[in-house]
Chains A and B, each alone.
Chain A
Amino acid sequence: MRRSVFAFAFAILLVWAASPLLAYLKLGTTTQTRTVNLRWNAFPIRYFITDRGAPQVTSMQFQSAASRAFATWHAVETAETSSEFVGFTRANPVTGDGMTVLGFTSRPDLDRVLAATNFRLDTSTGEIVESDIFFNTATSWAVDPAGVTGRHDLESIAVHEIGHLLGLSHSAVGETEVIPGGRRVLGAESVMFPIAFAPGTIHDRSLKADDVAGITDIYPTTSSHRSRGSISGRVTKNGNGVQGAHVVAFNPAAGTLVGGFALNESGAFTIAGLEPGIHLLRVEPLDDGDLDSFFDSTFVVDLDFRVRFHDQVVVVPAGGGVRDVEIRVTPK
């Protein structure tokens, strides 16, 4: 018997409750005996667009932006995904009607939420059978090629949400500062960072290495199994695991950053989908976003340790993994 549950992921505030016990930035769900990744098993993903526009954006413009956003993910050479626009619909993008729908919805109650993705899935296998994305008309949208000051770029936010639709969770590869009423992004190197850039910015139309690693991890091509590698190990403090520690792998030759999390009490982490070569590791407390942007409320995140670099160069092999890397941190 197939059971279905719904989980919700938001661009600014994440309120889904998927299990955090899986790999770094993938969405997961828990069965009775194990945890499984969320992923589509059937391609192309057939999607509809709601035939309602929003101020400044017609439904046709919306469809063009969404199509470009899907294409951005499908263009990743190391991953295998595809989609197909079926047509316009009157269906609501937040209902579980068996149709994958993207569209505008007015949600003034969620005034800090730009957009959100929800799922209908088989919780025994993690297979996504339907996903809907709503874009909140409580914010101002734009589809201009260069972006519009004061309005959020629809294509950029669509790339982020479609990342969720494909099974990616949030990434913590970014830095923020606390400001009255929330946080401000100082910089981010992942489209899947939970806090959007300022309105008018179009940076998130392009995927970063962190996004490519994540999608490659979920939907690897046959060749990427052989061409990509991983790093796994533990983050420890006084001999004990550091749950929720954020580990970033920096490739100095390519200048790329890919992140991952220590996802259990033993502090175990895995960062997959990495390009082969030299990597330098940095571990930090997860203090650049609200914890519930990443994990559900039952997940205890250890924030009591200092940022540090690993004292060994880590070399990722092609088609294999580096294991047993131990990064020792000290309390604050």
Chain B
Amino acid sequence: MRGLLQSAAAALLILLGAHAASAQIYRLRRDPPGRGSVELGGGVMWASGFELGTSAAQLTRSGQQRTFDLFSAEGEVGGFPGAHARVGVYLSPTISLEAGFRYARPQLAYRLSGDAESAPEETATEIINHYVFDGSLLVHFPGAAFASGRGVPFVSGGAGYVRELHEGNALVETGNEIHLTGGIKYWFGTRGRRVGFRAEAGISSREKGFDQQEGRRLQPLALAGMTFLY
């Protein structure tokens, strides 16, 4: 009965147009992830750096000019690579929920310059252990699949908890992040269990952590890796 309904639906979609028809062909040719299917993945990530701004070490002075600049410190975090892992559960063939983990070691650098007593410029650095534990909702678009249905676009959005440890684990600073990404999953098999490649890129908006800026900071984010469907 179910096969009959699917065939009827396919016939109807073919009549509606070529794009819809190809989508339905994909559906007919592959075993889509079903409700309860589990996806495990991991790979590499990259997040863009950002500037922390310039802070002047100022002394109070008695004249009309209220401050005396002793030196200035210009901070930045370089773009940083890292690793990620995630596990997802499909709620339907197109929607899944994921829990993820990202780890990276960004370098924090302060360029010290403009010294009132002509100290040579210096860049003080530190490596930070950066962890993000996040949750995401993924929406897949099998209707926009390509490469004979092997490539499936998706979008992902979610939020995470940021935990950052300064060098030597001297101090833990926490924050939060929100992310919105889009990407593709490219499957190498057609069965219910299969392996694939996943790549996505988007924006992460973080707040707090070692970054003391008021408000949120946007960071381009890219992730790529292997993914396994069970």
Interface residues of A (CB under 8 A from B): 173-175, 185-189, 197-198, 200-201, 203, 208, 248, 250, 252-253, 255, 257, 276-278, 280-282, 284, 306-313, 315-318, 320, 322
Contact = CB atoms under 8 A, between A and B. Distances in A.
Given A208-B60, A308-B120, A309-B112, 13 more contacts: A175-B68, A175-B117, A186-B68, A186-B116, A187-B60, A187-B61, A198-B63, A201-B62, A203-B60, A250-B73, A306-B119, A307-B115, A311-B124
Given A280-B112, A312-B125, A312-B126, A189 B59 contact: yes
A18 B125 CA distance: 38
Interface stretch (B35-43, B131-139, B163-171): B163-171
Interface in B111-169: 112, 115-120, 122-126, 166-168
A173 B59 contact: yes
A318 B123 CA distance: 25
B175 to A, nearest CB: 14
Contacts, number: 121
B186 interface: no
A309 B116 CA distance: 12
Contact of A280 (B73, B166, B168, B212): B73
B117 A284 contact: yes
A313 B124 contact: yes
Contact of B75 (A201, A252, A308, A310): A252
A308 B59 contact: no
Given A185-B62, A187-B68, A252-B55, A277 B124 contact: no
24 contacts: A175-B116, A187-B61, A187-B70, A189-B59, A197-B61, A200-B62, A203-B60, A250-B57, A250-B71, A250-B73, A252-B75, A255-B56, A257-B57, A277-B212, A278-B210, A282-B57, A282-B70, A282-B71, A284-B117, A307-B119, A312-B126, A313-B167, A315-B171, A320-B170
B171 A316 contact: yes
A280 B124 contact: yes
A307 B118 contact: yes
A308 B166 CA distance: 23
Contacts of B75: 252
Interface in B84-113: 108-110, 112
A201 B60 CA distance: 11
Nearest to B119: A307
B67 A187 contact: yes
Contacts of B125: 311-313
A173 B68 CA distance: 12
B190 interface: no
Interface of B: 52, 55-63, 67-68, 70-71, 73, 75, 108-110, 112, 115-120, 122-126, 166-168, 170-171, 210, 212
Nearest to A322: B170
B78 to A, nearest CB: 13
Nearest to B55: A252
B28 to A, nearest CB: 58
Nearest to B113: A309
Contacts of B124: 280-281, 309-313
Tell me the dominant secondary structure on chain B's binding face: strand
B67 A318 contact: no
B189 to A, nearest CB: 48
B35 to A, nearest CB: 47
4 nearest interchain CB pairs? Answer: A187-B59, A187-B68, A313-B126, A315-B166
B119 A253 contact: no
A252 B119 contact: no
B59 A282 contact: no
Contacts of B166: 278, 315
B177 to A, nearest CB: 19
Contacts of A315: 126, 166-168, 170-171
Contacts of A186: 59, 61, 68, 116
Contacts of A253: 55, 212
A143 to B, nearest CB: 18
A276 B108 CA distance: 17
Contact of A198 (B60, B62, B126): B62
A315 B118 CA distance: 25
A189 B58 CA distance: 8
A313 B108 contact: yes
Nearest to A256: B57
Nearest to A277: B171
Nearest to A203: B60
B117 A255 contact: no
A281 B125 CA distance: 12
B60 to A, nearest CB: 5
A255 B57 contact: yes
B197 to A, nearest CB: 38
B37 to A, nearest CB: 44
A311 B110 CA distance: 9
A311 B122 contact: yes
B112 A307 contact: no
Contacts of B58: 187, 189, 255
Contact of A308 (B52, B55, B60, B119): B119
